[in-house]
A and B are shown apart, each in its own frame.
Chain A
């Protein structure tokens, strides 16, 4: 079985401050990890993914994420948040060896205040 936990329902930061959205995962084997963003009443947009290699992954819109195998985490980060980063963020995991399902976390709502 595979699962994802996003421990914070909401994250509030001031514009210009660093933004971190936390994600931990559970898989029986090695994971593929993904981050998506959703704006109100829209579909999900892909931000970045970890496949293998360098633990620091850079993605769209200045976002990056760090894979930590020992802590089974894949936290999303942005050095300087923008008001336009306010959205719902989803972490997702897929076990490399087992089935085709992508399991999503419950999502974290990010609010960046001006």
Chain B
């Protein structure tokens, strides 16, 4: 899991609540990503950020929001508008998002469950 930490490991949310998932990296990577993993569907990109103070929507951004105020941090907020948020969330980073051949390094993940 390298130098990427995600917290908490498990998170429980009640209907109608917003929750924020933390992602921190000490790899000095420019680019950071958020993915959602559901059984049998692989990983789907939620948001990505190539540099500080800039981010773009991925394939499934509806109901999620992010910020990138610091290079090492890329928190993800799951809002009440996300209708089916129960999933495993993975944060990743890569040294330079503009160089497409760079591999991504992943954190250990946060499992979110809606009660």
A90 at the interface (CB under 8 A from B): yes
Distance A42 CA – B108 CA, assembled complex (angstroms): 5
B114 at the interface (CB under 8 A from A): no
User: Which residues from chain B contact A90 at a C-beta distance below 8 Å?
Assistant: 42-43
Total residues of chain A contacting the partner, CB 8 A: 24
Contact, CB under 8 Å: B50 / A100 = yes
Distance A41 CA – B10 CA, assembled complex (angstroms): 11
B74-109 interface (Cβ within 8 A of A): 88, 90, 92, 97-98, 100-101, 103-109
Contact, CB under 8 Å: A32 / B101 = yes
Contact, CB under 8 Å: A101 / B90 = no
What's the minimum C-beta distance from A34 to chain B, rounded to whole angstroms? Answer: 6
User: Which residues from chain B contact A46 at a C-beta distance below 8 Å?
Assistant: 103-105
Distance A106 CA – B103 CA, assembled complex (angstroms): 18
B interface list, Cβ under 8 A from A: 1, 4, 6, 31, 33, 40-45, 48, 50, 56, 58-59, 88, 90, 92, 97-98, 100-101, 103-109, 111
Pick the 4 closest A-B CB pairs, nearest first.
A43-B106, A104-B42, A44-B106, A104-B43
